[in-house]
């Protein structure tokens, strides 16, 4: 039997400092990676953009129709994302692991993403590393978010476990950074009753949440956990689990 496959997203909000352009939180990322490596089975990693992706995408007006300015933005953001990926790969490598970066926009062929290569590298024992990226399609400059990659990969490989590492404890009834009354939801089935606000270059919190819920169709276990306390992943079966389980 194949070993279980874990699909893990390191959210841009946790591995970078949101409002400081290209500020990488290397210690936080390193702690998450150490914890990831304790999980049994194969791993495929996706990371978001945080301040390496969203700041310049918004500044250059991406997504939108091709203009010289947007093309310059796509070029810059893609390079910045590759740099973030390299830093993350470096942390895996420093633990003796074998990460392998796939430039997401290069997987976009004939109108859709083709994950055959990352999946085949996974089977060979490497740790594929993918990331939310800019890409050009038709006459538009677009962003393929890390969350969409998570959904695509879930559909394709049916991972046994999916983990989203975020900068908050899980899904709340409201934005916990804005509303102190917001309550952590230990289990959710859908997005009803959740006031997901917060905007970014890829559709904001609401779309993120909807995507996570959809991922559950393809995996037995889907968790949202605070990346500052990645060890919480060991306690998903406990009544005191601090995080959100998608049912
Ligand atoms: C965005 O990916 C990537 C770019 C803006 C280029 P995500 O939307 O998955 O990133 P985070 O996790 O929200 O930062």
Average pLDDT, rounded, for the chain: 93
User: What are 101-144's pLDDT values in tens digits?
Assistant: 999 999 998 889 999 999 999 999 999 999 999 999 999 999 99
Q: Which long-range contacts (CB under 8 A, 24 or more apart) does 83-87 make?
A: 83/22, 83/52, 84/15, 84/16, 84/22, 84/24, 84/47, 84/49, 84/50, 84/52, 84/53, 84/131, 85/47, 85/129, 85/131, 87/24, 87/26, 87/29
Number of structural domains in the chain: 1
Find the range with the poorest average confidence among 44-53, 154-163, 190-199. Answer: 190-199
Helix (H, G, I), strand (E, B) or coil at 180: coil
Dist. CA 186 → ligand 1 center (Å):
25
Nearest to 48 by CA among 116, 149, 197, 135: 149
CA of 232 to the centre of ligand 1 (A): 23
Mean pLDDT of 147-169: 96
Q: How confident is the model at residue 178 (pLDDT cuts 50, 70, 90)?
A: confident
- The Cα 51–Cα 77 span in angstroms is 10
| Atom number, ligand 1, closest to the C-alpha of residue 147 | 9
Q: What is the DSSP letter of 3?
A: P
CA of 81 to the centre of ligand 1 (A): 9
d(CA 73, CA 103): 17
The angle that helices 204-215 and 146-157 make with each other, rounded to 10 degrees, is 10
Tens-digit pLDDT profile for residues 18-58: 899 999 999 999 999 999 999 999 999 999 999 999 999 99
For residue 141, what pLDDT is reported? 97
Distance between CA atoms of 35 and 21, rounded to whole angstroms? 27
Instruction: Tell me which residue range forms the domain holding 124.
Output: 5-246
Helices then strands, each counted (H, E), the chain: 7, 15
Q: Is the pLDDT of residue 79 over 70?
A: yes
Percent of the chain with pLDDT strictly greater than 90: 78
**172 has pLDDT over 80:** yes
- pLDDT band of 156, cuts 50, 70, 90: very high
Residue 16 CA, chain-centre distance (Å), reads: 12
Token pair recorded at residue 18: 């949101």
13 Cβ below 6 A of ligand 1: yes
Query: Which is the closest atom of ligand 1 to the Cα of 133?
Result: 6
* pLDDT tens track for 54-77: 999 999 999 999 999 999 999 999
pTM listed for this prediction: 0.95
Closest protein CA for atom 4 of ligand 1: 53
Of residues 229 and 210, the one with the higher pLDDT is 229
Is the Cβ atom of 14 under 6 angstroms away from ligand 1? no
If pLDDT is split at 50, 70 and 90, which confidence band does 1 have? Answer: low
CATH number, domain containing residue 32? 3.40.1160.10
The pLDDT, as a whole number, for residue 92 is 98
57, 81 contact by CB (below 8 A)? no
């Amino acid at each position: 039997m194949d070993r279980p496959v874990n699909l893990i997203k390191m959210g841009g909000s946790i591995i970078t400092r949101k409002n400081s352009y290209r500020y990488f939180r290397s210690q936080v990322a390193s702690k998450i990676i150490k914890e990831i490596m304790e999980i049994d089975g194969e791993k495929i990693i996706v990371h978001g953009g945080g301040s390496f992706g969203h700041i310049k995408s918004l500044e250059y007006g991406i997504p939108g129709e091709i203009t010289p300015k947007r093309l310059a933005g796509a070029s810059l953001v893609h390079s910045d994302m590759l740099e973030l990926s390299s830093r993350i790969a470096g942390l895996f490598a420093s633990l003796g692991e074998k990460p392998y970066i796939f430039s997401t926009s290069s997987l976009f062929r004939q109108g859709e993403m083709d994950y055959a290569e990352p999946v085949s590298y996974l089977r060979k024992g490497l740790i594929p590393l993918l990331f939310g990226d800019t890409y050009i399609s038709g006459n538009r400059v677009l962003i393929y978010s890390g969350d969409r990659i998570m959904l695509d990969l879930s559909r394709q490989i049916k991972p046994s476990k999916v983990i989203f590492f975020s900068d908050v404890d899980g899904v709340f009834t409201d934005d916990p950074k804005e509303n102190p009354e917001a309550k952590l939801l230990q289990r959710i089935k859908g997005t009803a009753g959740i006031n997901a606000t917060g905007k970014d270059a890829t559709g904001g919190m609401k779309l993120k949440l909807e995507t996570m819920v959809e991922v559950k169709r393809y995996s037995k276990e889907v968790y949202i956990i605070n990346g500052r306390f990645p060890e919480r992943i060991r306690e998903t079966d406990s009544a005191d689990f601090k995080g959100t389980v998608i049912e």
